[in-house]
Amino acid sequence: MSINVVERIDDRVAVRHVLVSVSDKSGLDRFIPGLLGINPELKIFSTGGTFSRIGEILGKRAQGRLVQVSDYTGQPETQGGLVKTLDFKIYLGLLTETYNEAHQQDLRRTGAVPIDMVVVNLYPFQQTVARPEVTVEEARGNIDIGGPCMIRAAAKNYLRVAPVVDPGDYERIQAELEKTGGSLTAALRFDLARKAFTHTADYDRAIAEFLQKKSEQEMRSCYTFENQ
């Protein structure tokens, strides 16, 4: 397998396309209008409850600026939100490199756009399993798949993308966007990437530690087994 070795990147990347899908919606009421105040042409892709919340925050300003991920990808969400963001167009937008012509051709071929910032935090697994009565099945249902994938893709491509996992970072991100006229620097993107990988590592560790403590009997008690 060949790996691209990138030598040329932009220090400042203009934020034009943002993907937002969060469990913790605190701070969005200030952050989202702030982003649009800096770049009125910003396009925001979102899903489910986050899409609804941003729509409430923006009101009429959402028209033409807020897009359902399913409308962008052409694929409806599956029942229960099982698959929402695991789509080729999304990951092209996250992983493509600015000065790689093959990547740029893929964007044009699919009608995808480069996503410049991902604002994602994960299903509350730690809070769920902190309840003494939680079952293995309840815990399993709260294992986030799409969120960690997007975070990892964005963090890997800090060359161009800002991965945002902590609402506590909204203020400094907005401050830099205001200072630079709508761009984020490589220094901030790299710092956010380090934080993002720590976040997903902690998340996976919590899942692993929970499952290690559970017996097969506890797992089996959750289900009716067919074909035994």
d(CA 40, CA 37): 6
> Residue 82's pLDDT is what?
62
Q: Is 206 within 8 Å of 129 (Cβ atoms)?
A: yes
The model's pLDDT over 117-126, given as tens digits with 9 standing for 90+, comes to 999 998 778 8
Q: Which two tokens stand for residue 112?
A: 């995808």
CA max distance for the chain: 64
Domain segments of the chain as ranges? 12-124+144-191
Reported for 217-220, long-range contacts at CB under 8 A and 24+ positions apart, including other chains, are 218/135, 218/136, 219/136
Phi first, then psi, for residue 133 (nearest 5°) are: -90, 5
The stretches of 160-215 forming alpha helices (DSSP H) are 170-180, 186-212
User: What class has domain 12-124+144-191?
Assistant: alpha beta
> Residue 129's pLDDT is what?
85
Q: Which residues pair with 38 in a beta bridge?
A: none
Question: Is the pLDDT at 83 greater than 70, yes or no?
Answer: no
- Indicate the average pLDDT of the chain: 93
Q: Is 185 within 8 Å of 176 (Cβ atoms)?
A: yes
> Residue 102's pLDDT is what?
93
What average pLDDT does the segment 26-39 reach? 98
pTM of the model: 0.93
What average pLDDT does the segment 172-195 reach? 98
**Measured distance between the N- and C-terminal CA atoms of the chain, rounded to whole angstroms:** 42
Lowest mean pLDDT among 81-85, 155-159, 217-221: 81-85
The model's pLDDT over 185-206, given as tens digits with 9 standing for 90+, comes to 999 999 999 999 999 999 999 9
> Residue 76's pLDDT is what?
72
> Residue 77's pLDDT is what?
72
